Structure 1
Amino acid sequence: MNNLKSTFVKFIVALALVLTGASATQTIATNVAGQNNTVQAAMSKSEKAAKRWIAMRESGGSYYARNGVCYGRYQLNIAYLHGNYSPANQERTADRYVYGRYGSWVNAKRFWLAHHWY
């Protein structure tokens, strides 16, 4: 009987982990797929300030600035934008790039200060 209880408890725990993991994966996929408002709302004041600082250094804050193969407010490589140069896509793509490469806008700013690019 104890063996049956133990197996049942393990099954329930495993099921809960699978369901929790699926929910977390769905949330992450939804956010990455373009819910930029979620990222923006979760940003601290220092993150927003660092993002704004980089935008000013890269393009003077313009979504239409161009420098060779770099375009927009964050001077992203045009290949990253996949033909969609809209401000919303620039914001999403810049967030995805920065969080993927540096982990935060604050870290990206630190890198920029050391290297004059990010």
Structure 2
Amino acid sequence: MIGFGFGMASNATSHVAPQSETTTAHAATLTASQKKQIATINAGLSKTQKAAKNWIAYRESRYSYTARNGNCYGRYQLLRSYLHGNYSAVNQEKVANAYVAGRYGTWTNAKRFWQAHHWY
């Protein structure tokens, strides 16, 4: 089952994550170039979709691009095999968007699934 490992072992919390794209931990470690690339990758997402994506990132890794949990890695706890050895923040953003689009259609649908199952 594709994506089964995404967040499976994460602890579910009832904390409300900040919804701001700029209120993220570890953002200071990104270069200006990476921030620009990530902004471009996410430019097609609505404010609501960005908020849902941020919500998932908070629960999966507390926004960390280097979080590790078994075979899952990064901000969205993607299976390492999905990242094809490229663990960069930019690649994580691209792969996460592609995964969610393919499996759920939207980040809001992925968030709903996460709320019901505590993984996505």
Q: Shorter-chain TM-score: what band?
A: 0.5 to 0.7
**Match of residue 67 from structure 1:** 69
Unmatched runs of 5 consecutive residues or more in structure 1: 1-34
Separation in 2, partners of 1:50, 1:89: 19
Larger radius of gyration: 1
Contact 2:65/2:89 (CA < 8 Å) preserved in 1? yes
Identity of aligned residues (%): 68
Contact 2:60/2:76 (CA < 8 Å) preserved in 1? yes
Please give the residue correspondences for 1:10-89 in structure 2 after superposition, counting only pairs within 5 Å.
39-89=41-91
Separation in 2, partners of 1:69, 1:81: 11
Give the number of aligned pairs.
Answer: 84
Kindly provide the amino acid, as one letter, of the partner of residue 89 in structure 1.
N
Greater helix fraction, Structure 1 or Structure 2: 1
Shift, 1:39, TM fit = 4.7
**Match of residue 102 from structure 2:** 100
**Match of residue 117 from structure 1:** 119
Shift, 1:36, TM fit = 6.5
Unmatched runs of 5 consecutive residues or more in structure 2: 1-36
Separation in 2, partners of 1:84, 1:109: 25
Contact 2:73/2:80 (CA < 8 Å) preserved in 1? yes
Secondary structure at the counterpart of residue 43 of structure 2:
helix
TM-score (norm 2): 0.67
- RMSD of aligned residue pairs (Cα, Å): 1.4
1:37–1:60 CA distance, 2 compared to 1 (3 A): closer
Bigger relative contact order, structure 1 or 2 (CA pairs below 8 A, ≥6 apart): 2
Secondary structure at the counterpart of residue 62 of structure 1:
coil
Separation in 2, partners of 1:65, 1:38: 23
In the TM superposition, structure 1's runs of 4+ consecutive aligned residues that sit over 4 Å from their partners are 35-39
